Structure 1
Amino acid sequence: MQVLYFAWLRERVGAGREEIASDAPTVAALVEELRAKDERYALAFEDLSAVRVAVDQEAAEFDAPLAGVRELAFFPPVTGG
């Protein structure tokens, strides 16, 4: 699946997008895989309360299933003004 990172997440991971092959059943499980993969991901995902996720361009929660997902995006909360 294509994984996209926006704003400070992109800066911490060091990439705006990457292709990831994973058998993780949920977004949360994938995040744990990424955290274990490299310190950059551990830093990016250290505080999940500051991270939002979209699954195939729809807002989702971290317990969302990943079966059949083509695109996953991580981004900081958006504020209006």
Structure 2
Amino acid sequence: MKVTIEHVFCRYSDEATDIYFRIINTILFSIDEAELRASMERLKTETHLDDYFVFGYGAHHLWVCQRRPSDQAKIFENRVIMAEF
């Protein structure tokens, strides 16, 4: 997996920071797309991932955006992480 940090991460809480680094580690330790998808779903159930981040998949990549601390229904304009598989 190739991880690209595309934009500055906004450190507005310790939990958000912890999850951010767990996302990066999850990507780096995944061997293929199937493992990455399964690992991200596991991370989603083990943490409050949805409270701080939104993620999805393209044809050959995973993207991650950060939610706004003031209104979790809104996300920051730029992706923070992209991972190619």
Length-normalised TM-score, structure 2: 0.35
Q: Select the structure that is richer in helix.
A: 2
Q: Select the structure that is richer in strand.
A: 2
